[in-house]
Amino acid sequence: MELEKSEQMNILFNFYSKLLTDKQREYMSLYYAEDLSLGEIAEQFNVSRQAVYDNLKRSEDILKHYENNLGMVNNTILENELTNELQDYVNDNYPNDKKLVKMVKKLDALSNR
Do both 46 and 62 map to the same domain?
yes
pTM for the full predicted model: 0.77
Chain centroid offset of residue 5 CA: 12
Do both 59 and 98 map to the same domain?
no
Please report the pLDDT score of residue 110 as a whole number: 81
Please report the pLDDT score of residue 63 as a whole number: 97
CA dist 47 → 1, 40, 99 (Å): 21, 10, 59
pLDDT band at 113 (very low <50, low <70, confident <90, very high): low
pLDDT at 45 over 60: yes
Do both 64 and 89 map to the same domain?
no
pLDDT at 36 over 80: yes
Please report the pLDDT score of residue 43 as a whole number: 97
Counted domains in the chain: 2
Per residue in 94-108, pLDDT (tens digit) is: 999 999 889 988 888
Do both 18 and 60 map to the same domain?
yes
The residues, any chain, with a CB within 8 Å of residue 105's CB and separated by 6 or more, are: 87
Please report the pLDDT score of residue 105 as a whole number: 87
Please report the pLDDT score of residue 8 as a whole number: 93
pLDDT at 2 over 80: no
What is the full DSSP assignment across 22-57?
A: HHHHHHHIIIIIS---HHHHHHHHT--HHHHHHHHH
Q: Which domain holds residue 96?
A: 74-111
